[in-house]
Chain A
């Protein structure tokens, strides 16, 4: 069975590009704080989602709607409406993280398939089985802190489908629990749907030297000709004592393309590509690359060589925690 490629779409155009490039499944979100990519100019209104779902279904692809932030007390209605509207628009599943939302969805929308977001940081079989037994979760997106043997161990102890990230921006913290962005800007991916919100980012270039500031803090300085990173604190370059360096992680992207056969043996159902904030050009190139890889694997052919370095943050790539060489 071909492994499922789950692709990002930040706009209707990106959704169509993903489907045309061979995505089995596309995930997207509404244009508000109910999803973890609440960036300016991005995401779908209700009409766009309905049209996008129709387009995907006409071409044999599925659409998942990420409603994966944590509702604010007193404003739960925004998140409840998002689940309701996703079902009305014909979404194939919703991706949720909050326990209360999972409970709400299972009680009020029992026919709507529920996936557990990476934002829930469910990293062992016991907690995954709890989500399945209590809220009927059918699939879990595993956090990016697990090795391949750990993923295999989880799959031997659960019937819940597992989905893992294979390409794109790399959160190095436990998702859903990271407060770095909130510390610098007051806004976080967990509550507001934005990590390093653009409104708090400032770039200045002087004689080829690029400074990036987040919330007023200088977090990167790169020389002329050096690749630029995203302005996130977890990939920031810090000075402490006499040392200066990337405290948490270098600015790199995840690329687990070469681990796809091992992930398949570990029982993984679906491969997820990060990047709803990226363009349709990125979506088309990455999807085409990974679709060719899983088709080759299914046909017993060698995996094709990828060409994705230029699309990667810092123009460098890592296999992250899948191989435990990662710090």
Chain B
């Protein structure tokens, strides 16, 4: 688990600047494919969303020039990147590091809320359901990305490990330390 005393890192400005130049439509399509791969291997995640499994969420990394719209769509998720802030049923804002740390179970959502690293707006029940569902799913985005990369899995893993090391962003699931 990450040390809660270490300040939250911000995404490097060069990465944020790079995102300004990228076309968002193919990125959105890639993220939708990626999200559907995760959905297929984690059906329990969508069961846990319950009545919120078709709620439109906006995930807003405040240190990036884009926001991510996520519709779980009953287990067939749709992802769309936009450059402007958009209205949705529920919104979660915070540094990219906080959002990724939540996904990977490195941070506690309530603690991030207490410290104001995370801001929640809109349907609080939906946000809570999403957070609890993701926490239980024990996702590892790096492992999922590697499994989609076929023969390039090892180079992709190495690249992610390099990026994690250089940026301080939590791009993989931390190991649980066992004491038994």
Contacts and interface: CB of A to CB of B under 8 A. Distances in A.
Interface of A: 10-14, 16-17, 19-22, 39-42, 59-60, 197-199, 201-205, 210, 224-230, 277-282, 284-285, 288, 291, 307, 310-315
Given A40-B125, A41-B132, A279-B108, A285 B176 contact: no
Given A41-B129, A41-B130, A315-B114, A203 B105 contact: no
Given A41-B132, A281-B108, A60 B180 contact: yes
Nearest to B134: A41
A314 to B, nearest CB: 7
B107 to A, nearest CB: 6
B115 A227 contact: yes
B110 interface: yes
Contacts of B113: 228
17 contacts: A21-B179, A40-B51, A41-B48, A41-B52, A41-B130, A41-B133, A41-B136, A201-B125, A202-B124, A203-B120, A278-B110, A281-B106, A281-B108, A310-B4, A310-B5, A310-B114, A311-B110
Contact of A285 (B1, B50, B115, B137): B1
- Residue from A39, A197, A203 having most chain B Cβ neighbours under 10 A: A203
B136 to A, nearest CB: 4
B108 A311 contact: yes
Instruction: Decide if the interface of chain A is mainly helix, strand, loop or mixed.
Output: mixed
B126 interface: yes
A307 B179 contact: no
B178 A11 contact: no
Main secondary structure of the interface of B (DSSP, over half): helix
A198 B110 CA distance: 13
Contacts of B107: 279, 281
A279 B125 CA distance: 16
B138 interface: yes
Nearest to A229: B114
B119 interface: yes
B180 A59 contact: yes
B131 A226 contact: no
A20 B180 contact: yes
A310 B98 CA distance: 14
Given A20-B178, A203-B124, 6 more contacts: A20-B180, A40-B50, A278-B110, A280-B138, A307-B5, A310-B115
Interface of B: 1-2, 4-5, 48-52, 102, 105-111, 113-116, 119-121, 123-133, 135-138, 176-180
A21 B128 CA distance: 24
B180 A281 contact: no
Given A14-B135, A279-B108, A205 B121 contact: yes
B160 to A, nearest CB: 21
A229 B107 CA distance: 18
Nearest to A20: B178
Contacts of B108: 278-279, 281-282, 285, 311
A267 B88 CA distance: 53
A315 B49 contact: no
Which 5 A/B pairs are nearest by Cβ-Cβ distance?
A: A41-B132, A41-B129, A40-B129, A11-B136, A198-B125
A125 B160 CA distance: 59
B179 A281 contact: no
Contact of B136 (A14, A285, A291): A14
B1 A41 contact: no
A17 B176 CA distance: 7
A285 to B, nearest CB: 6
Given A11-B132, A285-B1, A307-B5, A204 B176 contact: no
A22 B119 contact: no
B4 A307 contact: yes
Given A229-B114, A279-B108, A282-B111, A40 B126 contact: yes
A19 B130 CA distance: 24
B124 A198 contact: yes
A201 B124 contact: yes
Given A226-B116, A284-B1, A279 B179 contact: no
